[in-house]
Structures are given as structure tokens and as C-alpha cells.
Amino acid sequence: MPEVSQTAAASRTARRSDRDRWWRRMRRDWWIYLFLLPTIVGYGLYTVYPLVASWWYSFLDWPGFAQRGTFIGLENYERLISDELFWNAFTNSFIFLLIGLPLRVGLGLVLAYLLSRKAVKFRTGFRTLFFLPVVTTGAIIGMVYTLVLDSTGPVNRILTGVGILDQPIDFLGDPDTSLFAAIGVWVWKWVGITMIYWLAALQTIPQELYEAAQLDGANAWQEFRRITLPMLVPFLIIITLIDAVAAFNVFDLIQTMTAGGPTFSSEVIEIFIYRTAFETTVPQLGYASAAAVLFGLAAAVIAVVQGLGAAAARKRMVRS
């Protein structure tokens, strides 16, 4: 017993001296906090507060025309769970991710690899052209593709002309194809920036490795296989993560092209949220917030699982 109280007293003194030391350090490091101030203030106001607020909204019954909502607990979430359209949008978002992400990352790598080779001509020109869609605003791209991809547009005329299609397909207006067409346009728009990431990654590979390989008589394929790919693995994880976050940020593109239709076939979660918040007969902000939170939770879980998987894969790689 006395031993215990002695330890407690000791730890109390230790704690007090800890606190003193903290104060001293904080006073000495005042400039550090000054450096951090813009971030702390900005982050608090523009990230933490809105995040907490939107979580709070998700517990409210809040029609769009009202200034304020009333608390209804978990009711929004209960409704969401049984809302088929929410799950439809949820699924569409993940299909978007599962197809669009590998395409974007993979195609970006192919382009970057080719455009980093000295053997290829006009590299600057190619890079610029592939980058062009990245800086084009979503509304414009929406307009162009609605007309380029429709059943009397150029794409269909070519495909039917050379006999690939018997019947024109209204790519964005047919529920069987609308989501995939939207994914295609998304890849088209953003692959340019992924290509830049990969170009940067390729630049970090020391030139000597290639020279050594060439002395050994390796051909281009062997070079790529033995040197380029292994060196790129760490970047693959970073680039995939960055692009995955972007894949959940497709609002303006889809809104201008299909607005989620026809019949919800291309409705991703952001469109669902927007529709719930603004476009139904009685807009429901609480419900929209709940949908955003629930989807975000799912996405976070998946991101964590993916992160763990990637870490495991990396570990295995290092070992072998």
C-alpha cells in the first residue's frame, strides 16, 4: 500500500515537472506556433468545423426551404439503409472506381513510359495534347461529349461505318452504357495528370541502371520488366491513392453529361447527394448529409483496407 501511494506521489511530481517543461518549451518555440497559425486557423474553420457540422446535419430533418432543421436522431440513416437508390449510387461509385482507376493509372503509365523514351519524337507536343483535357472545365467536356458520343455523332458514324457496330449506340443515353461512357470520359479527362506523376516517377530511376542493362544485352521489354516496373512499385501506391480520391470527385462531369440518368444508371453518390439536396420536390439537406457521411465511412474503410493490403504487398516485395 505505501509503495503505491509513493509511486502516485512520484508520478504527480513528474507530471508537474512535465508540465513546467512543456511551458518552457512552448515559450521558447513561440515562432513555431506562429508558423502553424495559418494552417491551424484555416484547417479549423474550413475543414474541421464543416466536417463536424455536416455530421450534425445528418441527424436533422431539414427541408431545403427551411432555415434550420429539427433533430431526428438516426432516422435519416435508417431510411438510407433501405433506400434502393442510395445503394444504386453507392454501387455505381464503386464500379466507377474499380474500372476507372486501373484504366487511368495504367494508361497514364503507358503514356508516361512511351513519352519518357528518347526514341519517341515530338514528346513535348504529345505531352501537351494528352494534358489538354485536364485543364478543360467539366461543363465544356460535358457539352462536347454529349454531342460526340450520341447516336448520330461522329463516334457512332465511324463505328457503324467500319462495321464494328450494326446499330448506333447512344453511349450516354443508353442505361447499359452510360456509366461506362462516363468512366471513359473521366479517364480521358484526367489521364494527363496521372501521366505527369508517372513521368516524374520514371525520372527518379537512375539512368545508370538502364546503361548497365544495355551492356548486358537486355532488350526494351526486359529493361521494362526488370528495372522500370520494380522501381515504380512505391509510386504505384501513391498515385493510386491520389487518383482514388479524385475518382469520388466527378460531380460536374457527370451532372453535365447525364445528370445521373437515364433511370439512375449513371447516378454516382455525388449526384445522389446533389439531387437529394436540391432537385427533389422537397429538398432534404439532412438526408443528403447522411448519405455523404455513410458513403464516406464506407470509402474510408475501403481506403484503410487497401492501405493495409498495399503495405503487406510491399513487405512481401521487399522480402523476395
Partner 1 sequence: MSLSEPTVRQRPTAAPDTAPPRPRRRPIARRRVTTWLLTAGLTVMCLIWVYPFAWLISASLKTPLELFGKGLNLVPDEPQWENYVRAWTDGGFSTYMVNSIIVTVGSVALVILRSALAGYVLGRFDFVGRKLIIGIMVVTFFLPEGYTIIAVTQITDSMGLLNTHLGMILGLGAGGHVPALLLYAAYFRSLPKELEESAKVDGAGHFRTFFRIMLPLSMPVTATVGLLQFLTAWNAFLLPLVFTLSQPDLRPLAVGMVGFVSQNYTDHTGMAAAAVISLTPLVIVFILLQRHFVNAVAGAVKQ
Partner 2 sequence: MGEKRSNAMTRRQTLSMMGGIAAGVPLLASCTGSGDPDGSSGGSGALKWWDHKNGVWIEPTLERVMSANPDLTIEREEYPASELVSALQLGHRSDQMPDVHTAHPSLGPISVLVEEGWFQPLGDHVDLAGTAVADRLVEGVHIFDGKVYSFPLDDGRTHEQTPWVVTDRLPMDVDPEDARSWDGFRTVAREITKDNVYAIAFAAKGPNFLDLKLQQLASAAGATHVGGIDYTTGEYVFDSQPFLDAMEFILALHSDGAFHPSLGSMGPEDAAQRWAAGEAHIHWHGPWVPGVVTNNYPELLDMGFDAWRMPGPDGAPSPVHFPPPPGEFWISSASQRPEDAALAIAAFATEETFADMVNAMATPPIDPSAVDAAEDVNEPYRRNLLNLREECRYAPAPEARNPAVVQVVSEMQGINPNPAEILQGALTETIDDWRQALTEYTSSISAERDRAIEAVASDGADVSLDDWVFPQWDPANDFTADDYA
Contacted entry of partner 1, partner 2, none for residue 201, CB cut-off 5 to 8 Å set by kind: partner 1
C-beta of 9 vs 74, nearer to partner 1: 74
Whole-number Å distance between alpha carbons of 152 and 140 = 19
State yes or no: residue 58 binds partner 2 (CB under 8 A).
no
Contacted entry of partner 2, partner 1, none for residue 63, CB cut-off 5 to 8 Å set by kind: partner 2
Establish how many alpha carbons lie within 13 A of residue 124's alpha carbon, considering only the half-sphere containing its beta carbon: 0
Contacted entry of partner 1, partner 2, none for residue 310, CB cut-off 5 to 8 Å set by kind: partner 1
**How far out from the chain centre does Cα 300 lie?**
11
State yes or no: residue 261 binds partner 2 (CB under 8 A).
yes
Per CB under 8 A, which of residues 48..67 are in contact with partner 1?
48-51, 53-55, 57-58
Q: Of these, 100, 108, 138, 173, which contacts partner 2 (CB under 8 A)? A: 173
Whole-number Å distance between alpha carbons of 306 and 313 = 10
Cβ 155 to partner 2 shortest distance, Å: 12
State yes or no: residue 121 binds partner 1 (CB under 8 A).
yes
Q: What dihedral angle (degrees, nearest 10) is formed by the CA atoms of 103, 104, 110, 112? A: 180
Residues with Cβ within 8 Å of 256's Cβ and at least 6 positions away in sequence, in order, are 138, 139, 141, 142, 143, 146
C-beta of 91 vs 240, nearer to partner 1: 240
Whole-number Å distance between alpha carbons of 143 and 149 = 10
231, 146 Cβ separation under 8 angstroms? no
C-beta of 8 vs 41, nearer to partner 1: 41
Q: Of these, 55, 64, 72, 134, which contacts partner 2 (CB under 8 A)? A: 64
Task: Report the helix count and the strand count for the chain, using DSSP H and E.
Answer: 16, 2
Per CB under 8 A, which of residues 195..254 are in contact with partner 1?
196-197, 199-201, 203-204, 217, 219-222, 224-225, 229, 232, 235-238, 240, 242, 251-252
**How far out from the chain centre does Cα 267 lie?**
17
Phi, psi of 60 (to 5 degrees): -110, 150
Contacted entry of partner 2, partner 1, none for residue 131, CB cut-off 5 to 8 Å set by kind: partner 1
Whole-number Å distance between alpha carbons of 196 and 133 = 13
Interface with partner 2 (CB under 8 A): 63-67, 84-85, 146, 149-153, 168, 170-175, 178, 257-259, 261-265, 278-284
